């Protein structure tokens, strides 16, 4: 963010700093929760899969003309731990807290008397293992790249006290059909928040991947690390650590037979990989490696893929010239960044995000950003730029740059603020589809989990309500978003 930024910022933006302090944009703010069946904006294309109590269909979401995967969940098949006291999916509160490049994004959840309908990001590459089976060659570097992404997502979840509880290959999806092996962790239907002072109970997961302590009745977030270890074992050997097809027998072996991880049992696997496997598949969860330590293990760091410096320079320049806007504009920018921009451009920015995020915790810290800028300029200039970037890009004031904030900052707004895209964003805020946005609707979208005074929401509305009628119509909304472009 160059020196000219401060001079170019309008006095109006400066006057909005109090609003920025008062209102925090939640990364999952656009996860709508509505009563009723899937609306007419979704047009079914084909069925992707089905189970005993759920099915997944590929649909076209007409407002943005993008494909989405819609999962229908029958309420009769849900475990009591998957429902909160208000009889809503616990998955909702989990998903609204997550914002990571390797976690499947959820857009909307609807419900009727018998079912939940969950609208999600569509990963056209399908399940990870199906792709690997079709590949002619697969090596440790590729396995490490996959595990780096999985562990980064798990590390991010654990820092937010979220436990997945059902990590398995079927829930690891490929972003697209090319050979780059970019993955998304999916299906948080069995996930939950962990109280650090208590252990969990209840058996979730699949036989091959469930941790021994889960079968004993009390466990914590380390159960996810065991599941990751089993996935890594299969990636390196092509077979699960416990052989057989009888789930009862598999579970018995999980409880009674520690996995043997030695060079003679896993020929051809590098010592570094064996070391990480040993730490992840440690029987005692207290001694088992954490996600944070696992994602920074030498086997992972030695195989990290770095994109060319020239590409990263473009990203750093985008961050430097990013100009913060009023709060409502920030929210719309995040909506466009996460739901409308092209798959290829998201892929480019995702790779840049992961390079800057050196400790792979799913967030960019001030120090990580400073290290990148110091490679191209002196430290004093770098510190000046990073201070301004953090002030403008860290919209939710967390002290770090979240993934959606990063995407929003790097976007070319003149390219994406088309009438069609702005109309799609308008409809997100216009909850009752009346053709106007009220202060209550702004509060419902921006502040689902905050308690702010009515004056804050009214002030946000006043920022765009040119005719003073207490409602933002489509014309005023587009005028706000394109002002000073």
pLDDT of res. 83: 66
What is residue 297's three-state secondary structure?
coil
> Tell me: the pLDDT tens digits for 179-220?
678 899 998 888 888 887 888 877 776 778 888 888 888 899
**Token couple for 71:** 């999962």
pTM equals: 0.75
Judge contact between 170 and 234, C-beta under 8 A. Answer: no
Q: Is 71 annotated as a binding residue?
A: yes
pLDDT value at residue 309: 45
**Residue 118 to residue 111: CA distance in whole angstroms:** 9
pLDDT tier at 22, thresholds 50, 70, 90: very low
pLDDT at 80: 66
| Residue 328 vs residue 184, higher pLDDT | 184
pLDDT of res. 12:
30
**Lowest-confidence region among 56-65, 314-323, 343-352, 353-362:** 314-323
Residue ranges of the chain that CATH labels 1.10.238.10? 1-27+307-485
Least confident of 170-174, 196-200, 285-289, 378-382: 196-200
Give CA separation, 275 vs 27, 63, 149, 261, 280, in Å.
36, 49, 19, 9, 9
Model confidence at 51, in pLDDT bands (50, 70, 90)? Answer: confident
Query: b/e for 446-459, b at 16 or more Cβ within 10 A?
Result: bbeeeeeeeebbbb
End-to-end CA distance of the chain: 17
pLDDT for the residue numbered 451: 46
The ranges of the chain annotated as CATH 3.30.200.20 are 32-121
* Residue-level pLDDT at 18: 33
Separation of alpha carbons 81 and 192, rounded Å: 9
> Please, what sign has the CA dihedral across residues 151, 366, 107, 113?
positive
Mean pLDDT of 150-162: 95
For residue range 335-347, list pLDDT tens digits in order: 777 777 777 778 8
Q: What is the mean pLDDT of the chain?
A: 79
Q: Which secondary structure element, helix H or strand E, spans residue 263, and what is its range? A: none
The CATH superfamily assigned to 1-27+307-485 is EF-hand (1.10.238.10)
Could you tell me which CATH number the domain at 32-121 has? 3.30.200.20
Write the pLDDT tens digit of every residue in 94-129. Answer: 877 888 999 998 888 888 888 888 888 999 888 888
Please compute the mean of the pLDDT values over residues 373-388 and round it to a whole number. Answer: 91
For residue 129, CA distances in Å to 7, 72, 479 come to 53, 24, 48
CA 223 to CA 213: how far, in whole Å? 7
**Among 240, 275, 250, which residue's Cα sits nearest to residue 261?**
275
Q: Which of 120, 107, 116, 227 lies closest to 163 in space, CA to CA? A: 227
Look up residue 57 and give its two tokens: 């269909």
Q: Most confidently modeled of 258-262, 352-356, 424-428? A: 352-356
For residue 78, pLDDT over 80 is answered with no
Q: What percent of the chain has pLDDT over 70?
A: 79
The third-level CATH classification (topology) of the domain covering 126-301 is Transferase(Phosphotransferase); domain 1 (1.10.510)
- Answer yes or no: 166 catalytic: yes
pLDDT tens digit string along 238-247?
888 887 777 7
Model confidence at 294: pLDDT above 90: yes
Confidence of residue 82 (pLDDT cuts 50, 70, 90): low
From the candidates 86, 99, 112, 166, which is the catalytic residue?
Answer: 166
Task: Name the segment(s) of the chain with CATH classification 1.10.510.10.
Answer: 126-301
DSSP state of 213: H
What is the C-alpha separation between 174 and 128, in angstroms, rounded?
6
How would residue 3 be classed by pLDDT, with cut points 50, 70 and 90?
Answer: very low
């Amino acid at each position: 963010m160059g020196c000219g930024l401060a001079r170019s910022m309008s006095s109006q933006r400066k006057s909005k700093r109090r609003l920025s302090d008062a209102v925090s944009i939640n990364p999952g703010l656009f996860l709508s929760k509505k009563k009723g069946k899937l609306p007419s904006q979704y047009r079914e294309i084909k069925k992707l899969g089905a189970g005993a109590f759920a099915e997944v269909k590929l649909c076209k979401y007409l407002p943005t003309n993008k494909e989405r995967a819609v999962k229908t969940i029958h309420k009769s098949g849900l475990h009591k731990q998957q429902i909160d006291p208000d009889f809503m999916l616990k998955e909702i509160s989990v998903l609204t807290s997550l914002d990571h490049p390797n976690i499947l994004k959820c857009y909307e959840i609807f419900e009727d008397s018998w079912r939940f309908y969950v609208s999600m990001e569509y990963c056209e590459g399908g399940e990870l293992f199906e792709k690997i089976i079709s590949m002619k060659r697969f090596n440790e570097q590729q396995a490490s790249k996959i595990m780096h992404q999985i562990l980064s997502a798990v590390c991010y979840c654990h820092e937010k006290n979220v436990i997945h509880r059902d990590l398995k290959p079927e829930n690891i999806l490929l972003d697209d059909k090319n050979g780059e092996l970019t993955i998304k962790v999916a299906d948080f239907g069995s996930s939950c928040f962990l109280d650090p002072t208590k252990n969990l109970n209840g058996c979730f997961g699949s036989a091959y991947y469930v941790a021994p302590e889960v079968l004993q009745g009390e466990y914590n977030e380390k159960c996810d690390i065991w599941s990751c270890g089993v996935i890594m074992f299969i990636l390196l050997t092509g077979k699960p650590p416990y052989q057989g097809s009888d789930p009862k027998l598999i579970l018995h072996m999980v409880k009674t037979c520690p996995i043997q991880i030695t060079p003679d049992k896993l020929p051809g696997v590098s010592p570094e990989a064996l070391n990480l496997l040993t730490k992840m598949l440690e029987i005692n969860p207290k001694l088992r490696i954490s996600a944070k330590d696992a994602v920074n293990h030498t086997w992972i760091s030695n195989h990290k893929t770095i994109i060319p410096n020239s590409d990263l320079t473009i990203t750093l320049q985008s961050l430097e010239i990013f100009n913060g806007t009023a709060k409502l504009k920030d929210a719309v920018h995040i909506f466009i960044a996460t739901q409308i921009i092209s798959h290829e451009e998201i892929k480019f920015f995702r790779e840049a995000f992961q390079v800057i995020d050196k400790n792979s915790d799913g967030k960019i810290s001030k120090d990580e950003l400073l290290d990148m800028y110091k490679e191209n300029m002196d430290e004093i200039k770098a510190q000046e730029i990073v201070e301004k970037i953090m002030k403008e890009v860290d919209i939710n004031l967390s002290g770090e740059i979240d993934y959606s904030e990063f995407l929003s900052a790097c976007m070319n707004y003149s390219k994406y603020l088309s009438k069609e895209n702005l109309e799609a964003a308008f409809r997100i805020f216009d909850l009752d589809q009346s053709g106007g946005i009220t202060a209550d609707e702004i509060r419902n979208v921006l502040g689902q989990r905050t308690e702010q005074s009515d004056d804050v929401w009214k002030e946000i509305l006043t920022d765009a309500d040119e005719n003073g009628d207490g409602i933002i119509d489509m014309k005023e909304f587009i005028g706000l978003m394109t002002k000073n472009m």
